[in-house]
A and B are shown apart, each in its own frame.
Chain A
Amino acid sequence: MRLDAPFTEEKIRELKVGDIVELTGVVFTGRDAVHKYLHEGNDPPVDLRNGIIYHCGPVVVKEGAVWVVKAAGPTTSIREEPYQASLIQKFKLRGVIGKGGMGAKTLAACQEHGCVYLHAIGGAAQVLAEKVTRVSNVYLMEKFGSPEAIWEFQVAAFPAVVTMDAHGNSLHKDLLATSTAKLQEIFAEIDKAKA
């Protein structure tokens, strides 16, 4: 289904775990350095309110006067777990794009403030780079270097799967529980074969 800007709380709350969305609008990249920086109370150099943050450290090359995205897949989100909830609260973030899912604190913040976790396909740097139609700006480049900077991307039909919704559901939590139960069965089978 389509998810077009502006990303209102109402639209976000309609999404459910398992929905495949195609996102069109502005997203801001931000990863480890940016999350720590904002969590420590520094003001963002750009308005993030009602925005979408993308856990991504892209390869971007300047060709003449324009930035061209050469690769732009998601990075592992769980590293931002200590910071994400406070950023969702502070900036009323409506979406977090990344990979691997996030934890209980972020899930609770998604439910309380109306935000979703959008799981992009990890490693699919070329498919996803093609969805970036324009690089509008870059912030904190000097301070953090290219992969850690805030890149402002205009994206069109950017594909992702809702794996944590604004209703307290998390595919990651559920799958971990079922796979762990299955693993215990396998361990019992191994022990039995040995005995």
Chain B
Amino acid sequence: MDRRTLQPSLLELIRRTSAELPEDVAKVIRRSKRTETQGTTGRYAMDVICENIDLASEKSLPICQDTGSILFFVTAPRGFDEEAFRKAGDAAVVEATKVGYLRQNSVDSITGRNSGTNLGPGSPTYHFEQGPGARIDIRLILKGGGCENMGAQFSLPDTRLGAGRDMTGVEKCILEAVNQAQGKGCGPGVLGVAIGGDRATGYLHSKEQLLRKLGDRNPIPVLARMEKSVVERANSLGIGPMGFGGQTTLLGCKIGVRNRLPASFFVSISYMCWAYRRQGIMIDSRGRIREWLY
């Protein structure tokens, strides 16, 4: 892989992720705006959100100033040079920070010092997976801290919620997380949910759900039904855009499943804000962009 061609491709991926909402998300936001009543603060919030989406794209600047955790998900063939990729990724992140596509956002947890470059232990984060054929897909999520703080992990059974170790128990946990978040995660949001796994793989899988397009259909019927039910029930809570009150509390919910230990039953929920920054590219063996994935 040629660093000189890969690095600009990654910089362009970061720029576009930070400045432009993927079309599947923007479409649902515009549709939801129309369900909010004119003259309400909920509608006002949706109007400003839509104006902001257009303005960021036009100016090629961050949709939100919290450019978030930088999460790369790479699917590549056998023999792919992960170390070379990390080097190109790190360099692209430093450059993106310098030109303002990314905020200086990486802080030493012990000293509180900001590295100023977005580099540091665990930043950015790279997830590699081996895929079939020669195809190289790079997906990027920029996930802001406000919504990340609204994530939640439940361990079933949960007596307080009256939630047992079954699918209705799972749905109660998800709705409880929405109610706890209120407007603090910059709603209307999208949930990525993982049922099962251990604490770490559960949260990871919940984030992987956010790579799915909003309009897709879950191949597992029981989960497809729950995704629909969660959105309808969450929207009946009346929390609304920004927690101002209104019809739109959630834009979507994506649920995945992992096997669990007999002793554990986790429900892991990642809340994604409306500023759902997710993009992807397919690159060729030299690192040039061949296709945009969203």
Query: Interface of A with B (CB < 8 Å)?
Result: 18, 20, 33, 56-59, 61, 70-73, 75-76, 78, 99-101, 119, 121-127, 129-130, 144-148, 159, 161, 163, 171-172, 175-176, 178-180, 182-183, 186-187, 190-191, 193-194
Q: Is the CB of B161 within 8 A of A175?
A: no
The chain A residue sitting closest to B246, CB to CB, is A175
Known contacts A75-B66, A147-B104; A183/B182 CB under 8 A? no
Q: Apart from A76-B145, A186-B233, what 11 extra A-B contacts exist at CB < 8 Å?
A: A71-B65, A73-B65, A121-B49, A123-B52, A127-B48, A147-B105, A161-B45, A175-B182, A175-B243, A179-B237, A186-B236
Q: Range of interface residues on chain B?
A: 35 or more
Q: Is the CB of B104 within 8 A of A194?
A: no
Residues from chain A with a CB closer than 8 A to the CB of B3 are none
Measured CA separation A145–B197 after assembly (Å): 38
Binds A, one of B4-12, B112-120, B200-208: B112-120
Query: Interface of B with A (CB < 8 Å)?
Result: 41, 44-45, 48-49, 51-52, 55-56, 59, 61-67, 99-100, 103-105, 107, 112-114, 116, 144-146, 149, 161-162, 168, 171-172, 175-176, 179, 182-184, 186, 233, 236-240, 242-245, 273-275
Least CB distance from B6 to A in Å reads 25
Least CB distance from A52 to B in Å reads 18
Q: Which of B62, B161, B239 contacts A125 (CB 8 A)?
A: B62
Q: Is the CB of B65 within 8 A of A125?
A: yes
Measured CA separation A124–B100 after assembly (Å): 16
Q: Is the CB of A145 within 8 A of B65?
A: no
Measured CA separation A51–B117 after assembly (Å): 32
Chain B binding site: helix, strand, loop or mixed by DSSP?
loop
Q: Which of B55, B105, B275 contacts A123 (CB 8 A)?
A: B275
Q: Is the CB of A99 within 8 A of B186?
A: yes
Measured CA separation A5–B233 after assembly (Å): 43
Known contacts A99-B184, A122-B186, A127-B51; A57/B146 CB under 8 A? no
Q: Is the CB of A76 within 8 A of B239?
A: no
Q: Is the CB of A71 within 8 A of B44?
A: no
Measured CA separation A72–B65 after assembly (Å): 6
26 contacts between A and B (CB under 8 A): A57-B103, A59-B65, A59-B100, A70-B62, A72-B65, A76-B145, A76-B146, A99-B183, A100-B146, A100-B183, A119-B244, A121-B48, A121-B242, A122-B186, A122-B242, A125-B65, A129-B65, A146-B116, A147-B65, A147-B103, A171-B244, A171-B245, A175-B238, A183-B176, A183-B179, A187-B172
Q: Which of A20, A33, A99, A190 contacts B172 (CB 8 A)?
A: A190
Residues from chain A with a CB closer than 8 A to the CB of B100 are 59, 61, 70-71
The chain B residue sitting closest to A20, CB to CB, is B44
Measured CA separation A78–B162 after assembly (Å): 28
Residues from chain B with a CB closer than 8 A to the CB of A59 are 62, 65, 67, 100, 103
Known contacts A100-B184, A101-B243, A171-B244; A123/B63 CB under 8 A? yes
Residues from chain B with a CB closer than 8 A to the CB of A183 are 175-176, 179, 237
Known contacts A145-B113, A175-B182; A161/B44 CB under 8 A? yes
Q: Is the CB of B238 within 8 A of A182?
A: yes
Q: Is the CB of B273 within 8 A of A123?
A: yes
Closest 5 CB pairs of A and B: A145-B114, A71-B65, A100-B184, A122-B186, A123-B275
Q: Is the CB of B49 within 8 A of A172?
A: no
Q: Is the CB of B114 within 8 A of A126?
A: no
Q: Is the CB of A147 within 8 A of B243?
A: no
Least CB distance from B202 to A in Å reads 22
Measured CA separation A191–B162 after assembly (Å): 9
Q: Is the CB of B182 within 8 A of A172?
A: yes
Q: Is the CB of A18 within 8 A of B55?
A: no
